[in-house]
Amino acid sequence: MRICLIPGDGIGQEVVPEAWRVITALIPNIESVDADAGWGTFERTGISLPPETVATLKSCDGAIFGAVSSPSTKVEGYRSPIVLMRRELNLYANIRPLKQGDIDMVVVRENTEGLYAGRERMENDDTAITERVITRQASARIAKMAGEIAMSRSQRVTVVHKANVVRVSDGLFREAALQALSEFPELSIEEQLVDSMAYRMVREPEAFDVVVAPNLYGDILSDLGAGLTGGLGLAPSANVADDFVVAEPVHGSAPDIEGQGKANPLATIRAAALMLSRLGHAETSARILTAVESVIADGPHTPDLGGTASTSQVTDAVLEQLGCSPDPKTQETSR
């Protein structure tokens, strides 16, 4: 098995190696190859996702992507590398588990179109237009993915849309999703308007299991869910194609703590575990996730969770839970 490591920008440079430490402790014969992508890569080369990185990805079984620093204003020629990666590798599903206490849900987000399709233009100096792209094929396949996940859980799926207002595009998503889910007669299907869904996630998140949504809605709802389950430092995701998976923490590049050893590695370790599960290592994945849950419960914690432990010290604690030898250089653990 060959995994591409793309740290990206900011704290991605710190958390990806920590996740790899955990993986290699359990699967010592796994192979890795490094590749570049991100804002820093764009500044050096003029492209955020170089062709050689795409070629490297296509030679691997999966990848771990760290974080990307994207400018908030338009920069000529720049496109988000993770968005490009999703297109190049047909990573059509973004799977984001949300688990803490009574909350145990999975947001299955369409990953290739919607408002993130990149069709934007200036109509004139005062009017900007972004086209929202929804296709029947993409809507059906993401709903099918949600149905397959739900069949291994509580067999409940919530379809999120705003078809009462955005009648054409959300109407198509709703129609295609419900039709695809009708192939799973065992499932219990409900619908939620996206604004109502946000309200109910705050008030009664334990009421939901598998949630499927278009790109932007899924992005926002999964970040809301991260806020309900410990924060972005704990939130993992997996960008999934039929034959490839890219693990990615939900957090950004966090330039305010870059290089200080304060970054929480647990989101990336969890994301790496999701990748392993998709690649046929379900037992190893489950062991890692159980170890992470123990560290979340008992510490040590990085500053985002109120602790004083370093990035490496938290990883060492995960390794200890797994019965593996941590790095002796980081044993002055502050718990």
Is residue 236 situated within a structural domain? no
Asked whether residue 122 falls in the same domain as residue 34, the answer is: no
Is residue 14 situated within a structural domain? yes
Counting as low any pLDDT under 50, the low residues of the chain are: 330-335
Which pLDDT value is given to residue 333?
38
Instruction: State how beta strands 93-100 and 245-249 pair.
Output: unpaired
Residue 199: φ, ψ to 5°: -60, -45
Is residue 212 situated within a structural domain? yes
Each residue of 246-285: pLDDT tens digit?
Answer: 999 999 999 999 999 999 999 999 999 999 999 999 999 9
Instruction: Name 301's Cβ contacts closer than 8 Å, sequence gap at least 6.
Output: 307, 308, 309, 314
* Residue range of the domain that includes 144: 97-231
In 57-165, DSSP assigns E strands to 62-67, 93-100, 103-110, 120-124, 127-130, 156-161
Which pLDDT value is given to residue 243?
92
Asked whether residue 143 falls in the same domain as residue 263, the answer is: no
Which pLDDT value is given to residue 75?
87
Which pLDDT value is given to residue 147?
98
Look up the pTM and report it.
Answer: 0.90
Asked whether residue 247 falls in the same domain as residue 190, the answer is: no
Asked whether residue 247 falls in the same domain as residue 290, the answer is: yes
Q: Report yes or no: 160 and 213 within 8 Å, Cβ to Cβ.
A: yes
Which pLDDT value is given to residue 276?
97
Which pLDDT value is given to residue 332?
42
CATH number for 285:
3.40.718.10
